[in-house]
């Protein structure tokens, strides 16, 4: 890796062969680090992996969805947690509180149903089943990275930006928090992969019909992605106004078409909503889930306000790069790496993106408001959508913290915004830095990531 970087620092980003070598090296590195986590990271990961796995097990064995507060953890899950598997556990799941329940049963079912084949391929040994599902998740993560490289050519006409986007994507995909969260058993990986597909469909392919279907699948994977309905609505509104101004169709024809598009993601949720209404009397079981987990998440029943957002934002930024699962956020390499990524993402890239949108809008001043908005949108659609994507993601977390007194100030909830963030980092770097500056910045990012992986290898 060091040799590759020395060569790269002395060369240009448009040297295709060198760039391909660099990308291949990063892909192999992700495969190695992810594979190490798949096989070496303790079972269970402390962030709900056992209950996520149990959801898959329940569907595979019962051919139906589990019911929150009625179905309990399997004896295999409990025995693995105790470290005694394949011996039978002596624990009574109904007597051990939250850990005895299948408490992730409030989640949408798509990831769990899709993981049943990997579960079955594990044979009769439940450790093998866990490793099989983890390996499946690693394959999805690798495929998502390759997918991002493929559509870079459609996003950027400039070869240098295209190469920079692909290299920047490597660094974000190598964040320890992102890798660990996405290769242990959870629905996060499917949400992450589908968010990349949605980005492609909205901004590259500009296919709203497939985007609507993808958004519905994303909601069926993890409902925290609901903020993306706002991004989809933004794209729908822009397309509607564009077609209307071009007089391709009348309002009478266009309005039903776009109403159908808006309804598709919600319509795909109807069976799951009906299941929840039949068992809980509401469209989702989120409130019941919060009551079950309240003693862990907000035991003091604290009433969060705007004053709490500043310290929580700091925690959010810290845990974006490093995983909660390791429970280690100190030490010189780790501290400096965290500060580096925090400053890069939240104090450089995001503000620069907002400034770039403002500069673009200022260039259109003098036009009528509607025409100014339309012109700014057409020239900067990926920039506007990516910036709005991340800001809406953060806003959703703030609303949950303050509105629902649920302190979700954890960086992993920002992972659905990583692909837009890669795009914004590429644009911000092009705006702020010289070619040599870009290379040095990317080298620092890779170096910090590798230092952290080396420093905490003992934990995985």
Q: Where are the domains of the chain?
A: 2-459
Is the pLDDT at 318 greater than 80, yes or no? no
Mean pLDDT for all residues in the chain: 84
- DSSP letter for each residue of 228-241: HHHHHHHHHHHHHH
- Predicted TM-score (pTM) above 0.85: yes
Predicted confidence at residue 330, as pLDDT, reads 45
CA distance linking residue 283 with residue 102, whole number of Å: 19
CB 340 within 8 A of CB 444: yes
Q: For 116, what's the count of Cα atoms within 13 Å in the CB-facing half-sphere? A: 13
Predicted confidence at residue 432, as pLDDT, reads 84
Predicted confidence at residue 1, as pLDDT, reads 44
Confidence of residue 283 (pLDDT cuts 50, 70, 90): very high
Predicted confidence at residue 15, as pLDDT, reads 62
CA distance linking residue 98 with residue 91, whole number of Å: 13
Confidence of residue 137 (pLDDT cuts 50, 70, 90): very high
**72 phi, psi to nearest 5 deg:** -110, 165
Confidence of residue 190 (pLDDT cuts 50, 70, 90): very high
Predicted confidence at residue 388, as pLDDT, reads 92
Enter the tokens of residue 266: 């919600």
Going by C-alpha positions, the residue among 102, 105, 107 that lies closest to residue 221 is 107
| Top-confidence range, 192-201, 256-265, 295-304, 396-405 | 192-201
**290 phi, psi to nearest 5 deg:** -65, -40
Enter the tokens of residue 141: 């993560």
Predicted confidence at residue 6, as pLDDT, reads 41
Is the pLDDT at 169 greater than 80, yes or no? yes
Is the pLDDT at 293 greater than 50, yes or no? yes
Of the two residues 254 and 56, the one the predictor is more confident about is: 56
CA distance linking residue 120 with residue 124, whole number of Å: 8
User: pLDDT of 368-378, one tens digit each?
Assistant: 666 677 777 77
Of the chain, the percentage scoring pLDDT greater than 90 comes to 40
CB-CB neighbours of 62 under 10 Å: 10
The kind and range of the H/E element at 409 are none
CA distance linking residue 131 with residue 59, whole number of Å: 18
User: pLDDT of 108-118, one tens digit each?
Assistant: 999 999 999 99
CB-CB neighbours of 422 under 10 Å: 26
Q: Which of 94-103, 140-149, 217-226 has the lowest mean pLDDT?
A: 94-103
The crossing angle, in degrees rounded to 10, of helices 418-432 and 188-200 is 50
Going by C-alpha positions, the residue among 375, 100, 334 that lies closest to residue 238 is 375
């Amino acid at each position: 890796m060091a040799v590759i970087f020395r060569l790269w620092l002395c060369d240009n980003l448009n040297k295709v062969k060198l760039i391909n070598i660099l990308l291949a090296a990063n892909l192999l590195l992700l495969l190695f680090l992810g594979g190490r986590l798949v096989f070496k990271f303790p079972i269970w990961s402390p962030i709900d992996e056992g209950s996520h796995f149990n959801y898959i097990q329940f569907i595979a064995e019962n051919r139906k969805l589990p019911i929150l507060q009625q179905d309990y953890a399997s004896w295999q899950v409990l025995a693995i947690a105790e470290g005694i598997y394949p011996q039978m556990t002596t624990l009574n799941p109904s007597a051990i509180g939250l850990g005895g329940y299948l408490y992730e049963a409030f989640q949408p079912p798509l990831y769990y149903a899709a993981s049943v084949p990997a579960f079955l391929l594990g044979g009769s040994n439940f450790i093998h089943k866990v490793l099989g599902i983890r390996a499946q998740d690693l394959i999805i993560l690798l495929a998502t990275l390759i997918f991002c490289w493929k559509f870079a050519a459609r996003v950027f006409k400039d070869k240098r930006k295209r190469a920079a986007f692909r290299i920047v994507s490597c660094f974000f995909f190598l964040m320890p928090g992102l890798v660990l969260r996405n290769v242990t058993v959870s629905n996060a990986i499917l949400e992450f992969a589908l968010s990349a597909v949605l980005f492609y469909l909205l901004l590259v392919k500009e296919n709203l019909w497939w985007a609507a279907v993808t958004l519905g699948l994303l909601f069926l994977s993890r409902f925290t992605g609901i903020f993306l309905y706002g991004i989809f609505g933004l794209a729908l509104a822009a397309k509607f106004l564009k077609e209307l101004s071009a007089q391709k169709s009348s309002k009478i024809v266009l309005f039903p078409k776009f109403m159908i598009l808006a309804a598709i993601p919600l319509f795909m949720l109807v069976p799951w909503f009906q299941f929840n209404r039949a068992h809980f009397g509401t469209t989702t079981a989120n409130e019941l889930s919060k009551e079950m987990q309240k003693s862990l998440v907000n035991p003091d029943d604290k009433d969060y306000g705007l004053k709490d957002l500043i310290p929580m934002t700091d925690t959010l930024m810290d845990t974006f790069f490093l995983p909660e699962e390791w429970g280690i956020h100190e030490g010189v390499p780790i501290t400096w790496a965290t500060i580096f990524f925090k400053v890069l993402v939240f104090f450089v890239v995001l503000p620069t993106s907002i400034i770039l949108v403002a500069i673009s809008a200022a260039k259109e001043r003098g036009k009528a408001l509607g025409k100014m908005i339309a012109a700014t949108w057409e020239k900067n659609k990926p920039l506007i959508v990516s910036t709005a994507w991340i800001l809406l993601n953060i806003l959703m977390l703030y609303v949950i913290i303050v509105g629902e007194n649920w302190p979700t100030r954890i960086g992993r909830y920002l992972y659905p915004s990583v692909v837009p963030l890669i795009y914004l980092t590429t644009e911000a770097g092009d705006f702020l830095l010289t070619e040599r500056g870009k290379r040095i910045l990317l080298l620092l990012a890779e170096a910090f990531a590798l230092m952290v992986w080396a420093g905490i290898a003992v934990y995985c």
